[in-house]
Structure 1
């Protein structure tokens, strides 16, 4: 899952890996995040993994190298490939973040996820309010309209919600905010996954109003109002996501 929005689209059904290489990466990566391969343990040897995934040694080794680059694994001479400590995981990697969607809810991880958003997104909203352009406002209003017309489709509503946040992140012209795409999308996916388990149309109406207010404050150049409105949307996502805990 590397394209923005692909994680939210996957909520309607598990995505199929594009090839054997992707399949091995996804299965082992998700297995590490979920704890199926516990931290500090050594993975089965190459022969066992080749048999399990029905792949060649070349495909397996390339997949393991990719997971090493993401900080999930570490190869040790004469020991094998071990699952790395959490402190080494590349948590801003969209794929690593995506694997957390199916893992058991970790309260510390969830808290950190929303804390990162609270630290940067509200300031981004304020910055956009300060120097917004007509084109940026048109795009934001477009996604508000998409949310309005998608109240009967949770997945489409979620995608429109995420795209609105992505437009704001882009409009802030801050590369560190743009680096949050994966964080923002996972936060939305966790919230909407909880809503899929227990649908509540009233919550969507409330969320739409929060986003209308956010865009309104940006459009009128209200930096403090935009900051506060963004905080409200993040807090809403946090509370809804906690339902799955």
Structure 2
């Protein structure tokens, strides 16, 4: 697992401190998701990868175990480590989602992301409108202000927006709905980077829709909150898919 916001922070070239274990996981994981290591292919031998990544056998094998737990690879004696079919990948894993940021654009996959986001975040915001506390509202308004005053700061805007969606998921009183945060972060990162034209206008419109959404949650207006969220999701969808 990675910390929520790690992908957004990387947009400005700022990465979290890493160790050899996470370095190897990210290198191999990104290569698999991007297609550099195709499905069905067998990874290089331990000796080759140890030299390639500059790590010990222990570090390499722990990294492979982590990738195996995510469903990306399968290690077998005398066969090697083979890249698993996509049907076995854990797409709700935050790292697996984040690695798709580096993959070639896939409109069909983007459509899938928006379908999953709607399936999870609509119930989340309806729950938030019913169960939000004064503290939830205070935090959402704080991050709303951060988003509105971010100027052309893509990272600040992205992190503030993600925080609002995270609080919505948190206040819904349904632990499973928090899975939507990784999907939101990937879609947000894509919307902020894939097309620089009209970026300022997109950020402004997104801020306006976020404000409507937060105010509806504060009032406890379930229907208005849902409609505001759908408007925000439509903006993101048009940003990515109408190009």
Q: How does the TM-score come out when normalised to structure 2?
A: 0.94
- Match of 1:92, SS state, is coil
Distance 1:142 1:20 in 2: 36
Gaps of 5+ in 1: none
Match of residue 50 from structure 1: 50
Aligned length, in residue pairs: 243
Distance 1:142 1:172 in 2: 19
Match of residue 223 from structure 1: 222
Q: Is the 8 A contact 1:50 1:57 kept in 2?
A: yes
1:81 maps onto 2:81 in alignment: yes
Gaps of 5+ in 2: none
Task: Deviation per CA, 1:5-26: give whole Å up to 9, x if none.
Answer: 1110000116376122221111
Q: Point out 4+ residue stretches in structure 1 off by more than 6 angstroms.
A: none
Match of residue 233 from structure 2: 234
Residues 221 and 16 from structure 1, CA distance in 2 versus in 1: closer, same or farther, beyond 3 angstroms?
A: closer
Distance 1:98 1:203 in 2: 22
Q: Is the 8 A contact 2:131 2:173 kept in 1?
A: no
Q: How does the TM-score come out when normalised to structure 1?
A: 0.93
C-alpha deviation, 1:133, in angstroms: 2.0
Distance 1:15 1:142 in 2: 25
- Match of 1:78, SS state, is coil
Residues 142 and 68 from structure 1, CA distance in 2 versus in 1: closer, same or farther, beyond 3 angstroms?
A: same
Q: Is the 8 A contact 1:33 1:100 kept in 2?
A: yes
Distance 2:130 2:63 in 1: 45
- Match of 1:75, SS state, is strand
- Match of 1:44, SS state, is coil
